[in-house]
Amino acid sequence: MILRFSSTATREQRAAVERALRAADVRAVPADGALLLRDSLTLDEILTFAALPGVEELGTGTRAYSTLRVVSLGWLAAACSVLGLLTLIAANVPAPLGTPADPLRTPEMLRSSWPLLPVHGLVESSPDWLPVSLLPALALVALVLWPIVGGRLALRAPRLHTAFGVAALVATAWLTLAELAR
């Protein structure tokens, strides 16, 4: 059985729970903010321990437990593969360094950084009578405030909401490609 402490449980509450378990002769193995108990607790014991302050749940547990060895080895393997992949990319695509900056000499080919490609595409394709950065600014505000702007849409018409998202993605891709081709 697993006895899980709530995240707000104080040290005293945890100690009190452990004392109560010891008094009832129940062995408790600590495991990541929880205690592993034997499965043969009586109903009275379960009700008593579950009612102690600081206890979030006491049950057979739905979470899987492992050992620190397995978990940390998995983490190490994941870290090594990510770092290996990064090193592989880095060795093949070294960071560029051109000539020193010269504010008086504008380069012939001026390409913005890639995350800004769709933004520049939007600037280029907006009509002349609009301030150049109005559409990107509006898009940014809409993105940040989407729970307010589109919350009702997402709640009432989920499919329309999804369609809107797909349209926005397609538009972004299209603007990026248009800007790249320019």
Partner 1 sequence: MSAAGLTRVLDRPVLARRTFLSDPGRTAVFLFGVEVVTGALLALYYQPAPEASFRSVQLISNAVTFGWLVRAVHLAAANVTVLLAAYLVVRAFFRRAFLGPRGLGTWLLTVGFFLLMLAFYFTGEALPWDQDAYWRATVTANLVADTPLVGPWVAGVLRGGADMSGVALVRLYAAHAILMPWVAYWTIKRMRELMRRGAIG
Radius of gyration of the chain (CA): 29
Cβ 116 to partner 1 shortest distance, Å: 6
Shorter beta-carbon distance to partner 1: residue 46 or 136: 136
Cβ 92 to partner 1 shortest distance, Å: 9
Shorter beta-carbon distance to partner 1: residue 11 or 156: 156
CA dist 4 and 102 (Å) reads 62
Angle at 123 between CA 117 and CA 127, to 5 degrees: 150
Cβ 144 to partner 1 shortest distance, Å: 6
| 3 burial type by CB count under 10 A (0-12 exposed, 13-18 middle, 19+ buried) | buried
Quick check: helix, strand or coil at residue 14? Answer: helix
Structure tokens at 136: 């990107």
Q: Which residue has the tokens 């891709």?
A: 173
Shorter beta-carbon distance to partner 1: residue 25 or 107: 107
Cβ 141 to partner 1 shortest distance, Å: 10
Shorter beta-carbon distance to partner 1: residue 20 or 36: 36
